[in-house]
Amino acid sequence: MKSGERFVVFNVYAPCDSSRQQALWNVLSSRIEALADQNVCVCGDFNIVRCMEERRSVSSVFNQAGLDNFNGFIANNFLVDLPLRGRTYTWYRGDGRSMSHIDRFLLSKKLVSDLV
Amino acid sequence: MFDEDEPQVDDRSALPDDLDNDIGGGEVDGLLNSLAEDWKKEDEMCHFTPSTVSAMVKVTTASPIPATSAPAEDPSLASAMKSKTEQVLESACNIDRQYKHCLTDDKKVVRRASSCPPGKDSATPSGPWSLEWAKTHKSFSMGSASKPKLRVSAGTTGVKRVTKKKGGGYLRHCALNLKRIARLSDNDRREVLRALRRTSRKRKAVSGTSRAKVTSKSGSPNCTSQTSVNNDWNNWLVLHGNDKVMSDDVYELGRTIGLNFNGDKNNMFDVLSGVGRKTRVGGGDGVQAESKCGWWGGGGIGCEFRAMKLISWNVRGLGGAHKRREVSHLVKEHKPFLLCIQETKLPLFDALVCKSIWGDGNVDYSYQPSVGASGGIVTLWDLRGGGVVDSVLGSCARGSRSVCEVWGTFRSF
């Protein structure tokens, strides 16, 4: 890596409802597209999981559309989802009856290839 | 006189109705009934004399008693008991100390043995009406129910009130568990008590047992995913077996990062394999995404590569001094180059708060105010850079305050 090469970090706190989430993914997508082939790290609380296994809850309500949107966002921007080490979930409801893996680090291909 | 009455009445209230299921003896029922009647009389009289003690002892010794419970009362021990009982009540307000005392003092065990009749060995537990039992019971209920205040009030208020608590839920469980513990041998019992003490210590630090369960559960899914990923790796190796060095690196990397991806998350693998043809992957520095979950239910995750450490944390409110301290501890411990905080719930974030979190002045920040009491994100970064990071040049907000974008430059490496 050459000195002075740029990197961008996005600190994300996604809203809870799908429509606003989708709007956020769109904003981020256009931004990441503009940063094509650069070192991009998108991290934070995405308020959505990527698959059923990442969530445990007493209620069976599942936001499949939001989930697909999120997966689409990750795939379309060629982001690498870093696996979580040490535990399965990052968020727990106060009573411990509901938990999910909503916090994550997504890195661009370039960042992964250069740094990892 | 209440002082002497209390532990025994307490015991009666604690005795489970279905205890006989556990020790398998209808005689116990009869014994309990007779004891209960006896004590009821005492309650009515509100009077405690040596004669009642002996009468009670008669009841206990006359009834056929299963081997699991031993008659503990002995008129000769009554005076010693009395002083001990007073001791118990005196320290009722200082249960923690008493608890430790009961658990750590080995003499207690000896005493327990000596309170047994000559025919029984030391492994024989004292009956639920013995003082030793009462003490252990007390301490146990402290540890397991974690409602010390309730018990204190029961200890300090009158006998009548205690009797009303007959059949109380958690007391019943205590009695049953205690029976089981008491049945163990000396060494085993000590082990169990030690474990209980450890649990109670943990409970002080971690409020609520459910979360503790969660952490222990989280291990197994990781294991299974690891094996599945290793299979993927094998498949991949078959396809690209020629590039041995690079493959080893990828494998090593996969191992370091814990491997938790299922299904389509395998794009991680695709990228690694695709990238590997051009450059060297790995080389000592692995990707880490390790969890730093706090006990209040929030969670922070960190990511590290080439000594460049990033931490992301949904703190659920950064207003409280406690939470700020927690965050600053995290910073001190890991010294990240960049700290992303979500859900600050702060309409304002200033340099003072920033410095208090970071510990020194070598920090800059960018924040998005919360909307009312929800949302709000802050990004803090070290001005000196960290690892491969030279500096951070600027930041701006995106997507209606949901995103904070920070950019900077790398050093050459």
pLDDT tens figures, B125-168: 444 444 555 455 544 444 333 334 434 344 444 444 444 444 55
pLDDT band at residue B206 using 50, 70 and 90 as cut-offs: low
The answer to whether A7 contacts B297, with C-beta atoms less than 8 Å apart, is: no
Query: Are B214 and A94 in contact (CB < 8 Å)?
Result: no
Calculated CA dihedral for residues B182, B208, A84, A62, nearest 10 degrees = 120
**Given this model, what pLDDT does residue B165 score?**
46
How far B14 CA sits from the closest chain A CA (Å)? 29
**What tens digit of pLDDT does each residue of B284-308 get?**
233 444 444 333 334 578 877 777 7
A11 residue type, one letter: N
Asked if A23 is an interface residue toward chain B (Cβ–Cβ < 8 A), one would say yes
Residue ranges making up the domain that contains A73: 7-115
* A1 assigned to some structural domain: no
Question: Hey, what long-range contacts does A51-54 have (CB within 8 A, 24 or more apart)?
Answer: A51/B262, A51/B263, A51/B264, A51/B265, A53/B221, A53/B262, A54/A88, A54/A89, A54/A100, A54/A101, A54/A102
A2 occurs within a structural domain: no
> Does residue A35 lie in a domain region?
yes
Reported as a pLDDT band with limits 50, 70 and 90, residue B388 is confident
Residue B177 has pLDDT above 50, yes or no: yes
Angle at A95 (CA atoms; ends B197, B166), nearest 5 degrees: 60
Which chain B residues are closer than 8 Å to A38 by Cβ?
none
pLDDT exceeds 90 at position A76: yes
Asked if B412 lies within 8 A of A86 by C-beta distance, the reply is: no
Give helix B169-183 / helix B2-14 axis angle, nearest 10°: 90
Token digits of residue B302? 């960190």
Region at B397 (left for phi over 0; alpha for psi -120 to 50; beta for the rest): beta
Q: Would you call B213 and A96 a contact, using CB atoms and an 8 Å cutoff?
A: yes
Question: Does residue A17 lie within any of the structural domains?
Answer: yes
Residue with tokens 């389509």: B264
CA distance B48 to chain A (A): 47
Instruction: Give B218→chain A minimum CA distance, Å.
Output: 5
The count of structural domains within chain A is: 1
Rounded to a whole number, what is the largest CA-CA distance in chain B? 94
Report the mean per-residue pLDDT for chain B: 57
pTM: 0.48
Chain B neighbors of A6, CB-CB under 8 A: 407-410
Window A:52-111, CB contacts with B under 8 Å: 53, 71, 74-75, 78, 80-97, 99, 103-105, 109
- Specify if A62 maps to a domain: yes
Q: How high is the pLDDT of residue B34?
A: 61
Indicate whether A26 pLDDT > 90: yes
Mean per-residue pLDDT, A63-92: 87
User: Encoding tokens for residue B336?
Assistant: 């990240």
Whether A96 is in a domain gets the answer yes
- Candidate from B265, B342, B408 with C-beta closest to A13: B342
pLDDT score of B278 more than 70: no
8 Å CB contact between B155 and B165 = no
Distance CA A21, CA A28 (A): 10
Number of neighbouring beta carbons within 10 Å of residue B217: 14
The residue with greater pLDDT, B134 or B378, is B378
**Interchain CB distance below 8 Å, B312 and A83:** no
pLDDT single digits (tens) A35-64: 888 889 999 999 999 998 888 887 777 788
Residue A68 sits in a domain whose CATH number is 3.60.10.10
Interatomic CA distance for residues B181 and B172, integer angstroms: 14
